[in-house]
Amino acid sequence: MRAREFLTRRSNSLATRLFLSATAWVAIVLFITGVILSSVYRSASERAFDRRLNLYLRTLIAEVATPDEPADRQFQSLGEPLFDLPLSGWYWEIVRTDQEKKEIRASRSLWDKKLPKLEDQGIELSSSGVRVGYIDGPEGQTLRMAERPVDLGADGKFRVTVAGDATEIFDETRTFDYYLGGTFAALTIGLLLTTIFQVRFGLAPLKRISDAIADIRSGRAERLHGEFPVEIAPLARETNALIDANREIVERARTHVGNLAHAVKTPLSVIVNEANAHQRDPFAAKVLEQAEVMRNQVAHHLERARIAARLTVVATVTDVVPAIEALRRTMEKIHRDRGVAIDVEASAGAKFRGERQDLEEMVGNLVDNACKWAHSRVGIEASIRPPSGTEPAWLRIIVDDDGRGLSDDERMQASQRGRRLDETKPGSGLGLSIVTDLAALYGGSLSLGTSPLGGLRAELVLPAA
């Protein structure tokens, strides 16, 4: 996975997770807080309403306890006009419970109706000796009612009840919920905007690192530069250290490859020279044959080692058109005596994500083979296949010739290391093998087919910049 795409996806994923997490927590906390506040306010409204009912209840009990008051003056001190308004939702009722024929006195507002008993609804007496709860009123209103049994000894036993319209409680609670919901909605929007701001600017350093790594991969920079926050600075520092260590390892590998090449080259040359001095000896001929095989094998593996070492370095970008034009001029000079014409058709601005030396080696081998087998014409085409979805952009280089071509079996053999289909042609048989290996190291591929010109078509696919 590409470093820049990896960091970009990780930073985007992290930003998304942080935003969604923050949003979820804000929503949950505000919802729970809203439910709690609404419940607390409803309880407070009920307590205030109950205090009002208890005040009326104590006043009625005091009137019952002083029966000497004239009838026209009894129950006149409640101070609530709604008790006189028929079916207003505010009622009081006094029932004597120690007689078979119960004596009932009630407010004018109750008209000819009666209030139900809270005791019948399973509501127990509180520590203050009062039952409080909700009931359905005479006109379908929801009432908040306070009920208290009173024992006056010889004067009798009574049940004193006061009820008020609970719409006041519900309306106040509903109004509070509306204001609370509006306040929390504004608060939620403010918190979400704050979270977006924090996530966006908090993760900005990761975006800078992603862009800096893209510059390194494209060859525009060699290290991560700039100031980073203390949380990100260790990542940038370790990345730079990794790049330096990588370059040092590659340089050592290149040095070892060069040393090995020189170390092996001299003994092989001595063996070949000694064998050439005794060419008539069958043993010497065998030594020459095997020495040539050894030379080809060493050359092949040293080339692979050199390529692999170079590919561990952060990639550079190579312009395709100048490289191919230079190869065309070189090949035309090399094969001038055969009169082979080389046509080039390359997309302007095509770029290879790799080193020019590797591009020249791959395309050069293909063009050299085409020129060896062509009758008179070789075609080179270079184009870019744009990215699609998760697929990156690819560079497509096609080399055609008008030679005799290859059969399916010959195409299979052609890319085998050291395999030469025609011993009359110069070369070691390593060209296509090196191209295949080098293309694979870059993540590309080489395929052989039939050319529209009548000969062989070699299609090279490499990563594009």
Q: Which of 311, 329, 355 is the last residue of a domain?
A: 311
Residue 15 lies in a domain: no
Domain CATH for 330: 3.30.565.10
Give me the pLDDT at residue 222, please. Answer: 73
- Residues 353, 454: one domain? yes
Percent above pLDDT 90 for the chain: 24
Tell me: pLDDT of 177 over 90: yes
Lowest mean pLDDT segment, chosen from 284-298, 416-430, 437-451: 416-430
pLDDT > 60? residue 72: no
Asked, for residue 238, whether it belongs to a domain, the answer is no
Mean pLDDT, the chain, whole residue set: 81
Nearest alpha carbon to residue 360 among 400, 330, 403, 405 = 330
CB 143 within 8 A of CB 89: yes
Q: What is the pLDDT of residues 24-50, one digit of tens each?
A: 887 888 889 999 999 999 999 999 999
Query: Residue 17 above 70 pLDDT?
Result: yes
Predicted pLDDT at 307: 62
- Say whether both 400 and 263 belong to one domain: no
Q: At what angle do helices 233-276 and 204-218 cross, to 10 degrees?
A: 20
> Does residue 301 surpass a pLDDT of 70?
no
> Which domain covers residue 262, as residue numbers?
253-311
Tell me the pLDDT band of 322, cut-offs 50, 70 and 90. very high
> Tell me, what's the pLDDT at 182?
92
In this structure, the answer to whether residues 321 and 443 fall within a common structural domain is: yes
pLDDT surpassing 50 at residue 462: yes
The proportion of the chain whose per-residue pLDDT surpasses 70, expressed as a percent, equals 84
Say yes or no: 269 and 325 in one domain. no
Q: Tell me if 7 is assigned to some domain.
A: no
Residues 269 and 327 placed together within one structural domain of the fold? no
Q: Is residue 275 part of a domain?
A: yes
Domain assignment present for 89: yes
324 in the same domain as 425: yes
Q: Is the same domain home to 345 and 399?
A: yes
Return the higher-pLDDT residue of 296 and 428. Answer: 296
Most distant CA atoms of the chain, gap in Å: 156
Question: Residue 201 falls within a domain, yes or no?
Answer: no
106, 111, 112, 115 alpha-carbon torsion, rounded to 10°:
-50
For residue 421, what pLDDT is reported?
Answer: 45
Rounded to 5 degrees, what angle do the CA atoms 65, 71, 76 make? 75
Give the domain-ending residue among 103, 137, 169.
Answer: 169
- 412 vs 397: CA distance, rounded Å: 20
Residues 371 and 298 in one domain: no
How far is Cα 48 from Cα 169, in angstroms, rounded to an integer? 9
pLDDT at residue 14 greater than cutoff 80: no
pLDDT score for 382:
93
* Tens-digit pLDDT profile for residues 110-168: 888 888 888 888 888 888 889 999 999 888 889 999 999 998 888 888 999 999 999 99
Q: Give CA–CA dist 412/416, Å, rounded.
A: 7
pLDDT band at 430 (very low <50, low <70, confident <90, very high): low
**What is the mean predicted confidence (pLDDT) over 195-223?**
75
Distance CA 94, CA 63 (A): 10
Same domain, 321 and 417: yes
With respect to residue 323, please indicate whether it lies within any of the assigned structural domains: yes
| Pair (334, 442) in one structural domain | yes
- pLDDT per residue over 399-414, tens digit each? 999 988 887 777 776 6
DSSP-assigned beta bridge partners for residue 133: 145
- pLDDT, average across residues 252-257: 73
Which of 135, 169, 203 finishes a domain? 169
Asked if 327 and 433 sit in the same domain, the reply is yes
Looking at the structure of the chain, the number of domains it has is: 3
355-396 pLDDT, tens digit per residue, is 888 888 899 999 998 998 898 899 999 999 888 777 888 999
In this prediction, residue 174 has a pLDDT band, given cuts at 50, 70 and 90, of very high
Q: If pLDDT is split at 50, 70 and 90, which confidence band does 99 have?
A: confident
Between residues 274 and 10, the one the model is more confident about: 274
456 within domain boundaries: yes
Please report which confidence band the pLDDT of residue 203 belongs to, taking 50, 70 and 90 as the band edges: confident
Residues 333 and 299 in one domain: no
pLDDT at 70 over 70: no
CATH number, residue 82: 3.30.450
Q: How confident is the model at residue 338 (pLDDT cuts 50, 70, 90)?
A: confident
